[in-house]
Structure 1
């Protein structure tokens, strides 16, 4: 049995590695041909605008960094460490030599990725600037939470989830208190008591009245909320219980025959990969957080099974393209190879390739723990 687990671990690591090679071959190129730069091109085959980074995706770059850090933790190399540092520098250069985006959610996701990349390149100033911006996004409208943008009326988990994790990881007492407040606000305002899932967010009037609850339960919303639960569970066991609840709810409502549900193209290609990442972390951490309780162990097993079944489906339905495997946004459907830059399918998009790569890295992480 032990020998079989080792063999499986090597198998998933190899699959994650070839997925990384595919993304590198098709999507990574220098920014405006400048030496020492590197960014993810949004589409493949790329349009002229995509090649010149006239069109680029700040959100996707954050998750590209995260994927590369996953790969570096799996199998460290000097070349990959250099790539991580170059992408971090290039994000700032392409973004007008600033870190903070007008979209607080994108900024929070980048902040989380930069924290993980800190051992490969200096990021202290970047994280400080992002955290400062997030602190200013909190208001008491609708009971609390962060705005999605300074000029919008939306308060969503897309912002509040990664911001909570980022603030909790800063180590500052005030930031930790704010993280707990945001997390409780999400629990009180956005939990669907029937399913155990978390809704997207609230549209809020300037007088603080809630105009509309956006009653959609995207996969990445559950993923980042699960990450919030794991981050806060060490100091409060109620958050471990909420993590268990979230895992079971995902299993019952957001998976088809054990495969996590796809969320379409554009940024949606990344969404289910984010959920897979946090499910893998939950599978590893919950037993210790719950004292190996029966419910904690059961939820851990469910989380692991969801990741492994989804990774197997993504790999089974991959297409063969230049450089390596190519993934679609729905891992239960065979992926298609785009014919040209004008072939508008999700498989062209960097987001879908990152989503597939993420679930394979999550599977490799779980197998290496056995």
Structure 2
């Protein structure tokens, strides 16, 4: 094992250990054979206090926590992570009142991706395959071209956005619906590509037929657009899809990693944004097919953003009880949070940051995703070494 590989693996293992120690707990603190991700560390209030009992559990954070545990199993054959993965899925289902679904298509797409990877990559939970199929079927049925979509953000809205369509397209491609995945990537490119070369957040279709664009730019939107295009390109080898990957990577590097490090997005839901981009940049680096100079260059450029961001996040970490605390902004030093100030809270369909963003589970998952993405790039570990669910 080279020093570079050993360092990447050590950092990722330390990040995982911090998640286990601070955030992974039995559901309700006591339900046997379950785990759930505590949304904050330290938690607010005392056990059974109103502050603690009313904290949202944040379904999509749990989905990314599961995906991060899958990485630990793949990269280091981590048996503790494998056990926790099964317990986490059990905890999610019980906490979600016995269902895998909810009202948000982006949430369901993320959990579907975690379930699909669990079934395909870990071989520890083959029963996750039906979960992926169930959630993929929801994505397929939500396609709404008559409304201008795309699939909507949630079941009660006509907001069509990248955070729902991007992961849904990846899930559909990985579960055998490549035609719909291709249509979704085309929709993203045709409807949400900005003059900057980046992908916008989405648009509202109003009752009177007006379209109100939301041209906000987020790192995770670029990540899922890259991931979706890559999944379709692997299956079609259509040249225009490689062109899109190349152009979007260039725009992302220039505008969202201007110093080679992915920009931060704060705490709350934003704590996951950089980690999502890192995951799919790593996917480009490890899984983009082709032996020519251009594809080699694309892979190298994507991988360098991941490893430079991981180096910066590690350099800026704080430590508490011998375990890392990562910053919400990988270009700045981390702050060790305490139990004072406001904790993250759900408002208007999104989770707002804690007063100290390092307190948020999302921030620590995002950094762990980055560390595992750096492992994938460093050891050259492709995602698609095992065939997808048939």
Q: Same fold (TM over 0.5)?
A: yes
Tell me which of 12, 15, 28 is aligned to 1:16: 12
TM-superposed CA distance for 1:180, in Å, is 1.5
1:196-239 alpha-carbon deviations (Å, 9 max, x no partner)? 111111111246x3521111110000000000011011212321
TM-superposed CA distance for 1:12, in Å, is 0.8
- Three-state SS of the structure 2 residue aligned to 1:99 is coil
Q: Map residues 91-110 of structure 1 onto 2, 5 A cutoff.
A: 91-110=92-111
Name the structure 1 match of 2:249: 247
- Three-state SS of the structure 1 residue aligned to 2:335 is coil
How far apart are the structure 2 equivalents of 1:79 and 1:185?
A: 41
Equivalent residues of 1:274, 1:355 under 8 A apart: yes
Structure 2's unaligned 5+ residue stretches are: 343-354, 382-390
How far apart are the structure 2 equivalents of 1:218 and 1:166?
A: 20
- Three-state SS of the structure 2 residue aligned to 1:212 is strand
Q: How many residues align?
A: 358
Name the structure 2 match of 1:211: 211
**TM-score, normalising length: structure 2:** 0.88
Segment drifting more, 30-39 vs 315-324 = 315-324
Name the structure 2 match of 1:369: 380
Name the structure 1 match of 2:22: 26
Name the structure 2 match of 1:308: 307
Name the structure 2 match of 1:351: 362
- Three-state SS of the structure 2 residue aligned to 1:45 is coil
- Three-state SS of the structure 2 residue aligned to 1:42 is coil
How far apart are the structure 1 equivalents of 2:61 and 2:370?
A: 15
How far apart are the structure 2 equivalents of 1:15 and 1:50?
A: 33
Question: Structure 1 residues 312, 142: closer, same or farther in 2, change over 3 A?
Answer: same
TM-superposed CA distance for 1:53, in Å, is 7.4
Equivalent residues of 1:25, 1:323 under 8 A apart: no
Segment drifting more, 341-350 vs 277-286 = 341-350
How far apart are the structure 2 equivalents of 1:351 and 1:228?
A: 23
- Three-state SS of the structure 2 residue aligned to 1:320 is strand
Q: Map residues 178-327 of structure 1 onto 2, 5 A cutoff.
A: 178-192=180-194, 194-206=195-207, 209-234=209-234, 235=236, 236-286=238-288, 289=289, 291-322=290-321, 324-327=323-326
Structure 1 outlier segments of 4+, above 6 Å: none
Question: Structure 1 residues 355, 50: closer, same or farther in 2, change over 3 A?
Answer: farther
How well do the aligned residues superpose, as a CA RMSD in angstroms? 1.7
TM-superposed CA distance for 1:129, in Å, is 2.5
- Three-state SS of the structure 2 residue aligned to 1:260 is coil
TM-superposed CA distance for 1:66, in Å, is 0.6
TM-superposed CA distance for 1:181, in Å, is 1.4
